[in-house]
Amino acid sequence: MAHTLDVRTLAPRDRHPQIFALFDGLKPGEAFVLVNDHDPKPLFYQFSAERANQFTWNYLEAGPEVWRVEIGKRG
């Protein structure tokens, strides 16, 4: 079962650092579920720029109030 990180209660400035810290701690093949209050598309672009070809991105729920995305580390 993937770990869940609900960032809705975090200050916006703390969200991306915590997300990347969790991602960087994953072993290849592991994943976590991000829960957010808006489409995390800017985060996807940041992952694409900073962790190109290292991650998977799968929407599990796409709003309108809650977004859930499974983010995995490629093996």
DSSP assigned state of 17:
H
In a domain, 64, yes or no: yes
Domain that residue 53 falls in: 47-75
In a domain, 65, yes or no: yes
Total of domains in the chain: 1
- pTM of whole model > 0.85? yes
How far CA 67 is from CA of 8, 25, 52, 58, in Å, comes to 10, 22, 22, 11
In a domain, 62, yes or no: yes
In a domain, 74, yes or no: yes
In a domain, 59, yes or no: yes
Asked whether the predicted pLDDT for residue 1 surpasses 70, the reply is no
How far CA 63 is from CA of 33, 49, 51, 52, in Å, comes to 15, 25, 25, 26
The token pair at 30 is: 């592991």
List pLDDT tens digits, range 10-58: 999 999 999 999 999 999 999 999 999 999 999 999 999 999 999 999 9
In a domain, 29, yes or no: no
